[in-house]
A = this chain, B = another copy of it.
Amino acid sequence: MAPAALTTEAILDAAEDVLRRYGPAKTTVVDVARALGVSHGSVYRHFPAKAALQDAVARRWLARVSEPLEVTADGEGPAAQRLLRWLQQLAAVKQRMAREDPELFATFERLTAEAREVVAAHVDQLTAQVSRIVAAGVASGEFAQVDPPTAGRAVLQATAWFHHPSHAAEWRSPGIGAELDAVWSLISAGLGARSPVRRD
């Protein structure tokens, strides 16, 4: 059967495949077009430049990280518990990828290093999610009267060690899970949390 008309989505799928196979350094627009059986000129009808295509792939990858977290952020239950789960989930997603497919993780890292604006938007989104959890906790009286945006950003910064890609090398430490717990026990108190999840 004739392939469906060339869509932006199809190009992104192909680009992702090629990136996985060849890595970011060796992936060319010609490669992506060849994978689709079209000329590379066609790709430029959908993306103004290679950088825009890379940005779009990065955006999709990051969305796959932030969407499941969105569910957790807006879920039920005590805010402190939700926030801890959210942080553990974020850390687990990043750390699993780094551990199980280091090459793909390196690809991901390089791509995002160049897509600064896309990453900034992603970080804003994550900050907003944390801030929502904090705001819920403040509203329910579970947390002290902190400023949710400020505290949200602070929580994300304080846990950067466990989810920011530039610390990936440290994630090999077997105690990394306990270390996140230790940081959590520091910061959860700072939010004025009522039920500081005991784990002695």
Binding site for B on A (CB under 8 A): 144, 150-151, 153-155, 157-162, 164, 166-167, 179, 182-183, 185-192, 197-199
Point out the residues of chain B lying under 8 angstroms from A183, CB to CB: 154, 157-158, 187
**Copies of this chain held together in the complex:** 2
Indicate whether A144 sits within 8 Å of B197 (C-beta atoms), given known contacts A150-B182, A154-B179, A179-B157: yes
Contact, CB under 8 Å: A155 / B189: no
Q: Which 8 A-B pairs have the closest CB atoms?
A: A186-B190, A166-B166, A189-B190, A154-B182, A158-B158, A157-B161, A186-B187, A189-B189
In Å, the complex CA distance between A110 and B28 comes to 29
Contact, CB under 8 Å: A186 / B151: yes
Contact, CB under 8 Å: B179 / A190: no
Contact, CB under 8 Å: A192 / B182: no
